[in-house]
Structure 1
Amino acid sequence: MKRFALIGAAGFVAERHIRAIKETGNELVCAMDTFDVMGRMDSYFPEAEFFTSEKELVQFLQLAKEKGEPVDYISICSPNYLHFKHIELALKNACDVICEKPLVVDSTDLDKIKQLEAATGKKVYTVLQLRYHPTIVQLRDQIQKSDKDFFEVDLQYITSRGKWYFKSWKGDANKSGGIATNIGIHFFDMLNWIFGAVKENRIESYESDKASGFLKLEKAKVNWFLSLDSSDLPDVVSNAGKRTFRSIKVDGKEIEFSGGFTDLHTATYQNILDGNGFGINDARMSIELTEEIRMGNTEKREVCLKIKEWVVLRPQTKQTENG
């Protein structure tokens, strides 16, 4: 039985981690969150300690180590922009890490984590749960066995969000990484895992609540669309009262994978505990891709502003140069 701590226990995804710890036969000994209403823990680990500050958590980790009952893993479910900070905290306190997506927002932090792993002898794992989805695994096997060199792929993911989203850290691209990172990274990882590395990346539209683009991968051309806007849902979905729509078409054929998500975190944990989890190198490609989408969009806007500025200032500059 491994001893776990969890940072970010109040977040939506945290319950999947808590349940995975329980279902893999391990123990959550403490949890931390600045939000202090944590009734969900009573259903899983009512005896676990709970803290509202990192200082309290570190004191607990140190005391547990002194008692000969060290914490083995720290699960990280905090907001995206805090992941690196909390990974560093865990490694420096001699704990292995299981971190929710995205592992980090800034890809340069990946090399810093590798250095910390080397210095501490501990390991950082990330959650890439779609790699355990039975339908996705089957699709990858089919693609690898196929004699076909190239595939046409259409990806749509629409998951409606209310006004709260844009007032939270999730709506701040500097904290969440923006729409491509925050809601799209699992799907981009899935595409890379199945169809190979990115050869071309073109952004067609990018707003705070929706984005679209084109990818050329080693074995596929991909048109993708992500949205948080309920008005983008197909009528058949919205009329059924549903607020989420996932669709992947390969060569025009729909790949049905709307179900089967319930136990993917438990599968993730079990594979990590068995020594087969996904680490930094596995996460790198999708993190760099989503960062490129975000920064490419920013650079495009900056170029437009610079062009406007140049058009205005150039005549004045020439007039000065000509005396």
Structure 2
Amino acid sequence: MKNFALTGLAGYIAPRHLKAIRDTGNRLVAAADPHDSVGIIDSYFPDAAFFTEIERFDRHISKMRRQDSKEKIDYMSICSPNYLHDAQVRLALRVGANAICEKPLVLNPWNLDLLQEIEDDSVGDINTILQLRVHPSLLELRDRIRSENGRRHAVRLTYITSRGKWYKYSWKGDPVKSGGVSTNIGIHFFDLLMWLFGDVEKNEVHISEEERVGGFMALEGADVEWYLSLKENDLPERTPEGQSTYRSITVDGEEIEFSGGFDDLHTRVYEKTLDDDGFTIEDARPSIQLVHDIRNATPQQPSESFHPFVKGYSLEEV
């Protein structure tokens, strides 16, 4: 049984990590979050120490290491806001633990180089969560693509997830802290597409706004038209009433169905990580580089062949 600490306990994604820690037969001994709405922990690890100040959390887990306590941390799960990931990964390594960090591992690609140097000098390893890579349907799709001997595909990615006014007042609405729309809601899809179809050969951004971004990229094995949005009026008219999210990935006109099977993906990633087969800095690097490039790109006029595909993008309905 391994000992875990966790940062970002009050956040949206933390329950998936709590479940993964429990379901892999391990225990959470310490957690931190500046917010104290963390009653969810009672369903998992009610005896874990909890801190609202990262400095006291740091002191506690450092003390456990120095005393070689039975609660010495083996792994730290990092579920905090994106801009804190880098520093908290370094905290994990400094106390002799392995890091399991939510995506994005960092916001800028050059931060990966420093983390790699620190990891090389540390006893702990750095791993991240790329849970779509363990989804059974997507693993089958990848096997199918690899069996097609280099056939080139046409792909469309549309992800619209409407957000209320609160969003722009939170860290998620601050591009400096979240990386903006392409990073905050898109990075796992971009990682998936490169995992399926190879590295980026061409990247064009056609629209870049506070709440939506879209463009075209040529991957080694696919041409991809993509669109990400937080705007409710971008939802297709056929979206069921009360549903605030629309997600679609098509390959050669065929919808990829992977709406189910999400409940245990974090647990599967944890299992791989605990078996020394987790997702590393180098696994994370391509998508972090891509969203950085998207974030800093100057929008271009779409080519005549570009085919907008949501009503908010103004030509045709989905």
Common fold by TM > 0.5: yes
In structure 2, the residue corresponding to 1:237 is in which secondary structure?
coil
For the 8 Å contact 2:77–2:100, the answer to whether it is kept is: yes
Larger Rg belongs to? 1
Q: Which has the higher helix share?
A: 1
* SS of equivalent residue, structure 1 residue 202: strand
Q: In the TM superposition, what whole-angstrom CA distance separates every residue of 1:248-272 from its partner, at most 9, and x where no partner exists? A: 1111111111111111111111110
Q: Matches of residues 174-253 of structure 1 in structure 2 within 5 Å?
A: 174-239=176-241, 241-253=242-254
Matches within 5 A, 1:62-77: 62-65=62-65, 66-69=67-70, 70-77=72-79
- Paired with 1:97 and 1:133, the residues of 2 have a C-alpha distance of 22
Query: Contact 2:97 / 2:123 at 8 angstroms: preserved in 1?
Result: no
Q: CA deviation at 1:57?
A: 1.2
Q: Residues 206-262 of structure 1: CA distance to partner in whole angstroms, max 9, x if unpaired?
A: 1111111001000000000111112111222243x2111111111111111111111
CA–CA distance in 1 between the matches of 2:102 and 2:200? Answer: 23
Q: Which residue of 1 aligns with 2:261?
A: 260
> In 2, distance between residues paired with 1:247 and 1:168?
27
Q: Is the 8 A contact 2:161 2:246 kept in 1?
A: yes
Specify the SS of the correspondent of 1:121.
coil
Q: CA deviation at 1:63?
A: 2.1
Q: State the distance in 2 between where 1:102 and 1:116 align.
A: 18
> What does the per-residue CA deviation read over 1:102-159, in whole Å, with 9 as the maximum and x for residues that have no partner?
0000111100000110111210000000001111111111100013521000111111
Give yes or no for the alignment of 1:111 onto 2:113.
yes
Tell me which residue corresponds to 1:96: 98
TM-score by length of 1: 0.90
Residue type of the alignment partner of 1:63: K
Residue equivalent to 2:274: 273
Q: Distance in 2 between matches of 1:90 and 1:227?
A: 34
Distance 1:238 1:210 in 2: 21
Q: Unaligned regions of 5+ residues in structure 1, if any?
A: 301-323
Amino acid at match of 2:204: R
Question: 1:282-317: CA deviations, max 9, x gaps?
Answer: 00000000000001149x8xxxxxxxxxxxxxxxxx
**Residue segments in structure 2 that go unaligned for 5+ positions in a row:** 301-318
For 1:180 and 1:114, the matched residues in 2 are separated by 24
| Alignment partner, residue 36 of structure 1 | 36
What does residue 52 of structure 2 align with? 52
Q: State whether structure 2 residue 175 is matched by structure 1 residue 173.
A: yes
CA distance in 2: counterparts of 1:230 and 1:139, whole angstroms? 30
State the SS of the aligned residue for 2:11: coil
Paired AA for residue 55 in structure 1: E
Query: For 2:116 and 2:149, how far apart are their aligned partners in 1?
Result: 37
CA distance in 2, matches of 1:229, 1:204: 17
Structure 1 window deviating more from structure 2 (62-71 vs 193-202): it is 62-71
Counterpart of 1:18 in structure 2 is 18
What secondary structure, in the 3-state scheme, does the structure 2 residue paired with 1:296 have?
coil
- CA–CA distance in structure 1, aligned partners of residues 211 and 117 of structure 2: 35
Q: Partners in 1 of 2:228 and 2:213 — Cα distance?
A: 5
Aligned to 2:123: 121
- Which 4+ stretches in 1 moved above 6 angstroms? none
CA distance in 2, matches of 1:296, 1:107: 15
**Would you say how many aligned residue pairs link Structure 1 and Structure 2?**
298
Matched to 1:234, the amino acid is P
Letter in 1 for 2:264: D
CA contact (8 A) 2:155 2:225 kept: yes
**Aligned-partner residue type, residue 232 of structure 2:** S
Aligned to 1:320: none
Letter of the 1:279 counterpart: T
**Native 8 Å contact 2:29 2:49 kept in 1:** yes
Distance in 2, Cα, partners of 1:68 & 1:46: 19
RMSD: 1.2
Alpha-carbon distance between aligned partners in 2 of 1:287 and 1:19, rounded to the nearest angstrom: 27
Alignment-derived partner of residue 308 in structure 2 = none
Name the SS for the 1:211 alignment partner. strand
What CA distance in whole angstroms lies between the structure 2 residues aligned with 1:88 and 1:295? 26
Q: C-alpha distance in 1, partners of 2:240/2:178?
A: 27
Q: Quick one: structure 1 residues 297 and 179, their matched pair in 2 at CA, closer, same or farther if it must change by over 3 Å? A: farther
Tell me how far apart the structure 1 counterparts of residues 283 and 225 of structure 2 sit (CA, whole Å): 23
